[in-house]
Amino acid sequence: MKLVTGNSNRALAEAVSSYLELPLTDCTVKRFADKEVFVEIHENVRGEDVFVLQSTSFPANDHLMELLILIDALRRSSARRITAVIPYFGYARQDRKSAPRTPISAKLVSNLITTAGANRVLTLDLHAAQIQGFFDLPVDNLYAAPVLTRDIQEHYDVKNVMIVSPDVGGVVRARNVAQRIGANLAIVDKRRPRAGVSEVMNIIGDVSGQACIMIDDIVDSGGTLVNAAEALLKAGAKEVSAYITHGVLSEGAAERVAKSKLKELVITDSIAETEAVKAAPNIRRISIDQLIGEAIARTASEQSVSSLFD
């Protein structure tokens, strides 16, 4: 089998390569002067089981095009099977028509990946589980919960922890972590007056005296987490931390988190680390390299992937 990567998250690809004891396939992914993407595979991949590791994170369109062109290059090079390994699936938040005359961009992206020539997709904590149904090919949606749970158990006294969902839509995800560590669950009831802005309305559950840990899949502007942390502290929480799978942390978000009352924000390395994230004293990263690597190994050997989460 072969492991190929674009430019979105080279550090994670190298970590997965090390876990699998499989060197990254030699390839060129560069730009022409007008910023067109050019790809060249420098090794024979005919008949190979190829895994293309590429997050479609910022700049999302550039990294998406890299993924599509890598898949096309491999298909035209007679690879036997191509698996798109997308730790962070961009456009996943556009999974439905949120208003009249708006697109369902997640479906469009799934069509593009299929048309490019992928045979299957392996991703992590999709924002909306129904996106799996947007593809007419096998999709394995991995869960970061075991990785997050292990870190919580190593850094917190779980007897005094309250798991919190920062909104109603994330209750299932938060409940999964709560059940794994035997903790109670609270919910932040919020509303969004417009995209990217949230207002906390109520706290469902008694958080007084508790070390609260919010669980979610994506942190982008950081506004939801910061507002929820303040609301939880006002409701009597002893301290508030957050464990989030995908640290999108768009411009200004890392600084916002650094200045907030959050004790700690823990994110995975599904998205490459920025200088702002490195500089934030209360942002810590944990790696999903073993999770991704094991899923790739099991896919290649036709073993169960879902048993990773039993």
Which residues carry out catalysis? Answer: 190
Q: Which residues are annotated as a binding site for Mg(2+)?
A: 127, 167
Helix (H) or strand (E) holding 229: helix 223-234
Strand partners, 53: 5, 85
- CA nearest to 292, candidates 143, 177, 151: 143
- CA nearest to 205, candidates 163, 261, 263: 163
Strand partners, 240: 212
Angle at 59 between CA 58 and CA 62, to 5 degrees: 135
Q: Which residues are annotated as a binding site for ATP?
A: 34-36, 93-94
Q: Which residues are annotated as a binding site for D-ribose 5-phosphate?
A: 192, 216, 220-224
The SS3 of residue 77 is coil
**Cα 14 to Cα 6, 270, 287, distances in angstroms:** 11, 13, 12
> 55 and 8 in contact (C-beta within 8 Å)?
yes
Q: Which residues are annotated as a binding site?
A: 34-36, 93-94, 127, 167, 192, 216, 220-224
